[in-house]
A = this chain, B = another copy of it.
Amino acid sequence: MDNANAAGTPEQEDGGLRSRLVTVGAELVAAEGVQALTLREIARRAGVSHGAPRRYFPTHLSLLSAIARQGFGELSDHLAAAVQEKSAEESAAESDPRAQLRTLARAYLDFARTHPGMYELMFRHDLLESGHLGLRETSLPMFTALVGLVAQVRTRPEAEARVVAGALWANLHGTAQLWGWGSLQLATGADDVEPLLHAALDAHLGQAPR
């Protein structure tokens, strides 16, 4: 955990088995889902014996936690890229926090839709080390950024921005999860997330002047 390429180096430094295991795990969960994330299967795909990962990850959960940590990084990148791209194509108001929140929320649901396995892993707390530092270190900054944007919009001044941000996050997460399972399609009869996304945004941020 305090190794050279533990947190500093963002991508695999090719040689290291540690990062290779994480990369292989990320590919595996994307290809075959959480169920396929067996310790032995990851080791197999990395081309090592089933005992090798233990040198770097004392437990199966710690390896999965490292994979989920990379997932949070990917999510963070995905969100950052979305707002940047959006603010680039609409050259004018990059400072509109409401528009930023809109693209942020859309990108969040988009990530969950396009990376279902990884997103599931990221919130399967029974598969992650409870006190894993990396997870909170990676996810908390995203949330505080969300709080900052919500505070700028301030549709409901009496409610603390953190609470509104938390409620919005919970709404997005619930939507992602129930949609991923198919429950929301069945319940609402819709075949597109957009209406639910708009409902969540309008609800927590107030009616949009779209």
A-side residues, CB < 8 A to B, are 34-35, 123, 125-126, 136, 139-140, 143, 156, 159-160, 162-167, 169-175, 177-179, 181, 183-184, 186-190, 195-196, 198-200, 202-204
Task: Give Cα distance in the complex from A198 to B203, angstroms.
Answer: 12
- CB-defined contacts of A203 to chain B, threshold 8 Å: 167, 171, 203-204
Contact check, A200 vs B170: say whether CB atoms are below 8 A apart. Answer: yes
User: What is the minimal beta-carbon distance from A163 to any residue of chain B, in angstroms?
Assistant: 5
| CB–CB A189/B173 < 8 A | no
Which of B140, B159, B187, B195 is in CB contact (< 8 Å) with A169? B187
Q: Which B residues are CB-close (under 8 A) to A34?
A: 126
Interchain CA distance A199-B166 in the complex, whole Å? 9
A123 to B179, CA, bound (A): 12
Chain B residues contacting A177 (CB-CB under 8 Å) are: 123, 170, 173-174, 177
**Contact: B188 with A166, CB < 8 Å?**
yes
Question: For chain A, what secondary structure do more than half of its interface residues adopt (helix, strand, loop), or is it mixed?
Answer: helix
CB closest chain-B residue, reference A34:
B126
List chain B residues, Cβ under 8 A from A159. Answer: 195, 198-199, 202
On chain B, the residues within 8 Å of A136 by CB distance are 186
Measured in the bound complex, the distance between the Cα atoms of B159 and A188 in whole Å is: 12
Residues of B within 8 A of A189 (CB): 162
Distance to closest chain B CB from A188 (angstroms): 4
In the complex with contacts A125-B181, A126-B35, A171-B167 CB distance below 8 A: yes
**Residues on B with beta carbons closer than 8 Å to the beta carbon of A165:** 187-188
Using known A-B contacts A126-B35, A188-B162, A202-B156, determine if residue A167 contacts B196 with beta carbons closer than 8 Å.
yes
Enumerate 25 A-B pairs (CB-CB under 8 Å) in ascending A order: A34-B126, A125-B181, A136-B186, A143-B187, A160-B195, A162-B190, A163-B188, A163-B190, A163-B199, A164-B199, A165-B187, A165-B188, A166-B188, A167-B175, A167-B203, A169-B184, A170-B177, A170-B178, A170-B184, A170-B196, A171-B203, A174-B175, A174-B177, A203-B203, A203-B204
